[in-house]
Structure 1
Amino acid sequence: MTEQFKSGFVAIVGRPNVGKSTLLNQIIGQKIAIMSDKAQTTRNKVQGVYTTDEAQVVFIDTPGIHKPKHKLGDFMVKIALNTFREVDLIYFVIDAATGLGRGDEFIIEKLKNIDTPVFLLVNKIDQVSPEELFSLIEKYRNLYPFTEIIPISALQGNNVPTLLDQTTVHLEEGPMYYPKDQITDHPERFIISELIREQVLLLTREEVPHSVAVVIEGIEKNPKTEKLTIMATIIVERSTQKGIIIGKQGQMLKQIGMRARKEIELLLGSKVFLEVWVKVQKNWRDKEHYLHDYGFDQDEY
């Protein structure tokens, strides 16, 4: 560790589906946040830890800022907006392909109320021409005095090293908050449940929207084989959604479990036996006691 070690907290904010989780995974070099082309995939603050010999950066991947339609949506937006005051630096991620929208203008208005430095990250630059990119940057530059404006491709990693270099420049001297080899502060149960939920989102597409939660009921280790048995329940709001997730002769649930198991084994580095059930809990996203039970505790925010 160098004499002038730097550290700090960075929030990754933006509209839904602009690539925030993809960027976090690219920085950390391992999947800790689930990815989907559906909006509002991230529901909780996901913290990733990036450490070098010179600095440690704790990244907070927030839910996409959107107009809420239920209590869960209120919770998600509250989380995202509250991070503005909790961090040393903000990454405001936009989608170069979709351009400036009302959602971005709303976020910029919120940013005007704080003194935190803000980087504008223009993501998906591989999807626009240089002329379109320059024009878009000018539009945003006229709306807010960004500390830095950096075009990136979160998926391909373009300009991400430059982004991290500039981030370190703007951080102050500070301690190492986490051990050097730690990449997230979330417990394994949380990440396992998210990996299962990701497969539900990817495989069911528009048939089952974000009315899905996953609860890990238990994790047991066989002392002889070292193999883990993970028991999980997928929560949905309607019986029709339960039927879709189970699928004909249980084939959809089997596919969800098989794909999730592979991701979990990569995460844990060990063999896993995954048991998954499906349960209907009507309108759980609008009932506070269910939100609390499923890990969305609004009192913490």
Structure 2
Amino acid sequence: MEQHLLAVNGIHLSVHVAGPETGRPVWLLHGFPECWHSWRQQIPALVAAGYRVFVPEMRGYGASDAPEAVEAYSLLTLCADIQAAMDAFGQEDVCMVGHDWGAMVAWHLALLEPHRISALATLSVPFAGRPRRPAIEILRKVHAEHFNYILYFQEPGVAEAELDADIDRTLRAFMHGGSAGELFLTPRPADARLLDGLPLSLDLPDWCPPEDFAHYHQAFAGRGFRGALNWYRNFERNWHDTEPLAGRKVEQPTLFLIGTRDPVATLEAYTFERMPEHVPNLQAHVLDCGHWIQGENAGEVNRLLLQFLARTFAPTPPLE
């Protein structure tokens, strides 16, 4: 594994790279609140199959820069980070894979780069085109009288004060509650905090032992969650910025995976149902797991991903 620190799009972006230099490039984009190491079980499987793997620490995470300004985390800016990194590596033909917020970036990269992105795989977050109104407007109306985590994240400094107070506990809470849905689906008063009611001490899940959890902690140690939370503070800006993409379909061969116990499956059920209209070349699977799908059910994710790539983005044959 090599680590590159690229000067792209006004920041320094950390990208971990593995695999044969002649291998076709596969990008793995992590989500919130994760890190590049969340792909630890996919990287060796892809490398063994002959691919060259590129795993960035997304803007606001780990060794990558974390600008202070909220607008520095708009969706098209996040896409531009990866587009500039692809330029830096001289890439014209890639497969893009994303989970959670990384999936949202991957969906829009597929729209922005229909010629450079030949295949797409997204995990947990579905896509059904640009909504008619900014999602944040809908959330404010629907959740006016009870807690919603995205609304809670909106005011700079509020969520940071809670989440930064104990980074280990925060990450452990997401790993447990995020998969089962307690953090996101349990009804609570509008003035609640995210971690209210959770025990002070939480065990790590089996899929993330201490040596792996240390990488997650390192992604936020010393900087906290502000940069990562700023991704959530651009919903209205993102809606305006993506107007030129309205009506476009994702034409690339696309694999979509989601877990049966993923709260997103409940929160985005309508979007999931509408996906075939907007992603005509779609292959979708529902796996027995929660939200942290590539860690919780790594074997099945690897099997389906490698099968999909073999059909749509076969590795470069080795030189004789």
The TM-score by the shorter chain falls in which range?
under 0.3
Which structure would you say has the larger RCO, counting Cα contacts within 8 Å and 6 or more residues apart?
2
Relative to the length of structure 2, the TM-score reads 0.26
Q: Which has the higher helix share?
A: 2
Q: Which has the higher strand share?
A: 1
